[in-house]
Structure 1
Amino acid sequence: MAKPLPLTDADGEVRELTEDDFKHFKSFSSLPDELQAVLRGRGKQKAPTKVSTTVRFSPEVLAYFRSTGKGWQKRMDDALKEWLKEHTA
């Protein structure tokens, strides 16, 4: 049996997969449980800590928080929590 071709080229680009490539793949469920857990990431939350909703904000508020980079939604949530602390009787 011929040695399979590398999946990537020298530049790291993935080549188009062939029927022969697919014959070598394993199903996710056939992998060990420990590896499945790692590949799944953090997994399903036992008790969701946040609620998904739709809210409309002014463009300048969104622009500011988005400009702060990754994690901007958490920072917006933290700012709203701080406002609640200061304005709750």
Structure 2
Amino acid sequence: MKEELIGKVAMTTENGTDWERLRNMGDAEIHASAMADPDAQPTDENFWKHAKLVFPEAKETVTIRLDSEMLSWFKGQGKGYQTRINSVLCAYMNAQSNHNQQNR
């Protein structure tokens, strides 16, 4: 992994980002790139009239015993393994809730 010191923080280039090209982009090129991204379109006043601030639910810290093979697999998927485990457990919970509602 190549590291480059930027300010007091070492930035890694492992993800393939061309930081030098980004530093050399002008405002017009940055704007054109943002406008070309379908997920980053500008919003209008109508959007903000109906927007609602939503805070994520607080998470609870717990200690849980997990199989080492399973934990290694989740960790091997990259950053955010705890979030992924939480998502899998939530999906299971929701599937069980749906299953139980259908069987009533």
TM range (shorter): 0.3 to 0.5
User: With structure 1 as the length reference, what TM-score do the two structures score?
Assistant: 0.45
| Structure with the larger strand share | 2
Q: Give TM-score scaled by structure 2 length.
A: 0.39
Bigger Rg, structure 1 or 2:
1
